[in-house]
Structure 1
Amino acid sequence: MSTPTTVGDRSAGKPIHETNPVLTIDHVSIDYLAQRTVHAVKDVSLTLGRGEILGLAGESGCGKSTLAYAINRLLKPPAVVSSGTISFHSREGYSIDLGALQGEELRQFRWDRISMVFQGAMNSLNPVISIQAQLEDVFSTHRPELSKKERREKCGELLERVGVDRSRLKSFPHELSGGMRQRVMIAMAMALDPQVMIMDEPTTALDVVVQREILREITRLRAELGFAVIFITHDLPLLLEISDRIAVMKEGEIVELGQALDVYTKPQHEYTKRLLASFPSLTGDRGDFARGTHGKGTDA
């Protein structure tokens, strides 16, 4: 479980999501206006602290990805935000109502302030374009003042930051392993030094060893660069290891929200208890799956 030493305000005795928020989701509801209206997200309120890792857990279809797309204004019809507001609080001291952004303002905001690693990100890379060209496109679009040499240097630095040799810039996606492609996607998401990174099931389809490496990279980069993370997955044990706080979502609603350790040791909602009990044990005790917790298990 992540230790939230970097995300708490010890002097004030209050958590960082209260004293220094970077993102506020206030009573947001999202509907799909089909023949029968589907209420995908129902009156969700969350606050993300600067530098915090907030885990969002829940079964498939509970509305996790729909909420993530709403934050980045990526929802398309028939999805609509039927109520509520989402506000971004810049480190420069001003706030932005994301619902009010339009056109060029919205294009410039995306990826620059809030970036996203999409579900199935390993398959998001263009198979016929080199890694270098795809990374450089981010800088060409958002940092047009950079020279070609500067763009290339930044691309190399990005790859090395996520543990990939810069010689791989010339490679095509099919020449990389699944873990390397995922690292490239993370590098692309952090290219413009965003203040919030949304990760939607970023380790799905990776084997457990590579998954562990990716999680270590995310926590290391968070500590190094200070961005906040919304980490979305159905894998609750994974969230217990990486998150400062965890929100549990069921049928479009947040049914439990608390510190990761509290969610693990003192779950309040029956759905959270069922989620915790559904994972196989590493030690023989039912539900005791978290590595290194209470002295049990082994650290991989």
Structure 2
Amino acid sequence: MSAATEGGATASLADPVVTIEDFSVDYLGAMTAHAVRNINLTLGRGEILGLAGESGCGKSTLAYGITRLLRPPALITSGRASFHPREGGTVDLSTLRGKQLRAFRWDKISMVFQGAMNSLNPVINIQAQLEDIFITHRPRMSRRDRVRTSGDLLERVGVERSRLKSFPHELSGGMRQRVMIAMAMALGPQVMIMDEPTTALDVVVQREILDEVTRLRAELGFAVLFITHDLPLLLEISDRIAVMKAGEIVELGAARNLYTAPRNDYTKRLLASFPSLTGERGDFIRTGVADIRLTETDQEKV
């Protein structure tokens, strides 16, 4: 949450890679649920944008809507999401159909799904699952190049090349999550959406995964939309954070500003809800320094 990071976030908005305008999604039924309501959001090129909020607030629905992965009874009722490639121009994602949409998804925008640790096919080894990406999207690539590139991908995320022949059950949870990240970056996408990528991992492995994501972003230059309910985690890695409640963005700003001077009452409650690491309420950031602002907020309630 350095000043340099905030400056980088501001600069990246001048070069957006994804823009979301007045985006709404409903789940139709006897009682229609307005899951996402009139979202306006910009993801800058090379930026890590955190999307925080409680379970059921619409975070994953928004991600699935952007990538056109929603299924009935979900329905996009308004707005649009646009992709701005490095090469120039604008792609309205709502206009993509069939093979064009299938080719776009993993090549330009990839996704690490919620529960991705268990998304690998249990009866196919890692090499075959990585190669399948290239067979589908790079059909002219030779088998030798597919194997070499698959091994390179594993090494890039900190997994030994020898693990190509392993099956998912032979890998730890953290290694499986790294494999999923390798798959998501296989085609060099410009945007990676990560939906709760560290859920069910212990804190040590979480730290390793976050370090890898930060390093890879710096090395490869892709933008990240990082979705989680874990606001302290987002405060560590994000350039900006959007806080979502009941389908709406209630606050958006630089990570440091959101932590030190939150404007919305819901953001303040969310910040105050995390347990302390040192015994002081609100002291959840891994600095060992209590947050006086949050302590004063608690005293006002007494």
Could you say whether these structures have the same fold, taking a TM-score greater than 0.5 normalized by the shorter chain as the test?
Answer: yes
Aligned residue number for residue 237 of structure 1: 232
Q: Which residue of 2 aligns with 1:54?
A: 49
1:193 alignment partner in structure 2: 188
Deviations 1:215-244 (A, max 9, x none): 000000000000000000000000000100
- Residues 4 and 204 of structure 1: CA distance in aligned 2, closer, same or farther (over 3 Å): farther
Coordinate RMSD, CA, aligned: 1.6
More helix by proportion, 1 or 2?
2
- 1:84 maps to which of 75, 79, 82: 79
Q: Which whole-Å CA distance do the structure 1 matches of 2:253 and 2:84 have between them?
A: 22
* Alpha-carbon offset, residue 104 of structure 1: 1.1
Q: Tell whether 2:18 aligns with 1:38.
A: no
Alpha-carbon distance, 1:285 to partner: 2.8
Unpaired stretches in structure 2, ≥5 consecutive residues: 292-302
Structure 1 contact 88–97 (Cα < 8 Å) conserved: yes
Report deviation, 1:7: 7.0
2:9 equivalent to 1:16: no
Structure 2 distance, partners of 1:229, 1:294, is: 29
SS in 2 for 1:111: helix
Q: Give the letter for the 1:118 counterpart.
A: F
Q: Percent identity?
A: 74
Alignment of 1:129 with 2:119, yes or no, is: no
Q: Deviations over 1:154-212 (max 9, x none)?
A: 00000000000000000000000000000000000000000000000000000000000
Gaps of 5+ in 1: none
Structure 1 residue 293: Cα displacement: 7.6
1:254 is matched with 249
TM-score under structure 2 length normalisation: 0.93
Whether contact under 8 Å (2:277, 2:288) holds in the other structure is no
Whichever residue aligns with residue 15 of structure 1, its letter is A
The one-letter amino acid of 2:47's match is: E
Aligned length: 291
Assess, with a 3 A threshold, how the Cα gap between structure 1 residues 105 and 206 changes in structure 2: closer, same or farther. Answer: same
Aligned to 2:23: 28
Q: Distance in 2 between matches of 1:218 and 1:88?
A: 22
Decide whether the 8 Å contact of 1:41 with 1:63 is kept in 2.
yes
Q: Distance in 1 between matches of 2:274 and 2:191?
A: 30
Q: Distance in 1 between matches of 2:43 and 2:254?
A: 13
In structure 2, distance between residues paired with 1:219 and 1:2:
14
Separation in 2 of the partners of 1:266 and 1:131? Answer: 45
